[in-house]
Amino acid sequence: MSKENNMYLGNPNVRGADVEQPWTKEELVEYKKCLDDPVYFAKEYCKIIHLDEGLVPFTLYPYQEKMFEHFEDNRFNIVLACRQSGKSIAVCAYLLWYVIFKGEQVVGILANKEVIAREMLGRITLMLESLPFYLQPGCTALNKKSISFSNNSRLIASATSSSSIRGMSLNLVYLDEFAFVDNATEFYTSTYPVISGGKTSKVIITSTANGIGNMYHKLYEGAIQKTNEFVPYRVDWWDVPGRDDKWKQTTIENTSPLQFDQEFGNSFHGTGNTLISAETLLALRAKHPIEERSNVKIYEHPKEDHNYLMFVDTSRGRGQDYSTFNIIDVSENPFVQVCTFRDNNISPLLFPDLLYKYATHYNMCYVVVESNDAGQVVVNGLYYDLEYENVFVESMVRANAIGVTMTKKVKRMGCSNIRDIMEQKKLTINDEETIREMSTFVAKGASYQADYNNHDDLMMNLVLFGWFTSTMFFREATDVKLKHMLYKEKVKQLQDEVIPVGNMPTDAGNHPFGEGWQIWRG
């Protein structure tokens, strides 16, 4: 039979379906080699477009060969790779091998925009066209969005929307440049059942670093800490042939050290305008709660004779903002986050009962509630209806003065203090969600708030804690002189740097810890 009769819709480089393929002994040997080794398949038979040389054989870098082995050995793969390393084209070759030699495999190629996913499918099509007919399964459909084969394998290109693969049965999902997907959290949450449904289904996520707090950063850090099922693989700039110290210096000169660190150095930097510095955020490590029930996460059970503080933020319970609390052990240095709650459906009428339960559990701890909006209902329910007396009261004279009104001044003081506390390592944060909110709590005008598509309710608990440390009530409630402790540390730091005594701050108004310092002197 002529090659023309074997073609798919007149494409001379793509084998049609339902065509018998005669085999030579040599071809059978080659087929077996490809079947057993995706690296051999890619190096010997796949071709790519070189910017200078046009269509050339795909010469894999050593890291790409090891990456193929990594994909074969693990179901859940997450790759952190420097910019322009060739990670995407390598994955394309692996996916082609996967659908050809595994058979009956449906692969989803997903990117931030559908046009990018289609481009990757185009690269796979080019590789397919470079294969001899005896390696190709017959093609039953080939277009810009999908490729189908007679071995019942299929490749599908789509954008990462919450509905893109819902209801589909996929054997492998590939997420390209996942750190740059706008709706990554929503997408991953909605499609995780599809991703994890089968016992042998596979996931490959690749990306360059793009800040802290996004879904990709969460998954990669979880893989490093072994808190999720993903296995990490890292590609650094020096893994790419031709990149040396001279190349690094030239690249930095044409960009910036910070840009180089993130795009080529695989560093997860913050946006640059987070309240807490990127260095501090990168040092934080979440822990698994020792107990979890109804959105309450417990990291430490109460200890006898320890002092605890509870800080509360309230929403309307309509599925938007979250009602939260943070319980902090202030008995020792550093302070420790021991319990959190986060829920966006709990009614303000029911929230006081939950607060009462855990405040009582943690040694009748002192409770500080933000009383704005629905918070007034919650703090009144706790103080008056449940008769829990250990609640912060702003004024005994003024009506509705139970709790704290979050004003611009209160928030400014709270932000300043919690930044000092965190950056001087005086508070241990154990909760993953709190760390994520810290990482996306950014400057907006003269204040700070959650970045777009993020929340800051747990973070506002900590802002409230920061403000509370500058009040007399904190000293009375805990018998802890935080400002004095921080000031002594600052003085020691300055002394260690051999700064002349005449340069030490003496005026309280210019004190490094701000106006709240005055109440701690003496």
pLDDT of residue 239: 94
- Which of 5, 12, 81, 71 has the alpha carbon at shortest distance from 39? 71
Furthest CA-CA distance within the chain: 99
Could you read off the pLDDT of 147-176 as tens digits, one per residue?
A: 999 999 999 998 877 566 665 678 999 999
Half-sphere exposure of 94 (CA within 13 A, CB side): 23
**Domain range 61-269, its CATH number among 3.30.70.1340, 2.60.120.380, 3.40.50.300, 3.10.105.10:** 3.40.50.300
Cβ atoms of 21 and 151 closer than 8 Å: no
pTM exceeding 0.85:
no
Most confident of 28-42, 139-153, 466-480, 485-499: 28-42
**What is the set of active-site residues?**
177
Could you read off the pLDDT of 186-197 as tens digits, one per residue?
A: 788 777 776 766
d(CA 105, CA 114): 21
What proportion of the chain, given as a percentage, has pLDDT over 90?
55
Distance of CA 375 to the CA centre of its chain: 30
The size of the chain, in residues, is 522
Could you read off the pLDDT of 387-419 as tens digits, one per residue?
A: 999 999 876 545 557 899 999 999 999 999 999
Could you read off the pLDDT of 337-359 as tens digits, one per residue?
A: 999 999 999 999 999 999 999 99
At residue 454 the predicted structure's pLDDT band, cuts being 50, 70 and 90, is: confident
Could you read off the pLDDT of 31-83 as tens digits, one per residue?
A: 999 999 999 999 999 999 887 788 899 999 999 999 999 999 999 999 999 99
d(CA 515, CA 493): 21
Q: Cα angle at 418 between 427 and 393, to 5 degrees?
A: 100
Cβ atoms of 186 and 162 closer than 8 Å: yes
Query: In the chain, what is the straight-line distance between the N-terminal and C-terminal CA atoms, in Å?
Result: 99
**Domain range 283-480, its CATH number among 2.60.40.10, 3.40.1160.10, 3.30.420.240, 2.40.50.360:** 3.30.420.240
* Burial category of 257 from C-beta neighbours within 10 Å (exposed 0-12, middle 13-18, buried 19 and up): exposed
Which token pair is 360? 């009582």
At residue 522 the predicted structure's pLDDT band, cuts being 50, 70 and 90, is: very low
Q: Mean of the per-residue pLDDT values for the chain?
A: 85
Map out the domains of the chain as residue ranges: 61-269, 283-480, 488-520
Could you read off the pLDDT of 224-263 as tens digits, one per residue?
A: 989 899 999 999 999 999 999 999 999 988 877 767 887 8
Q: Distance of CA 170 to CAs 111, 144, 154, 273, 522, Å? A: 16, 19, 10, 40, 68
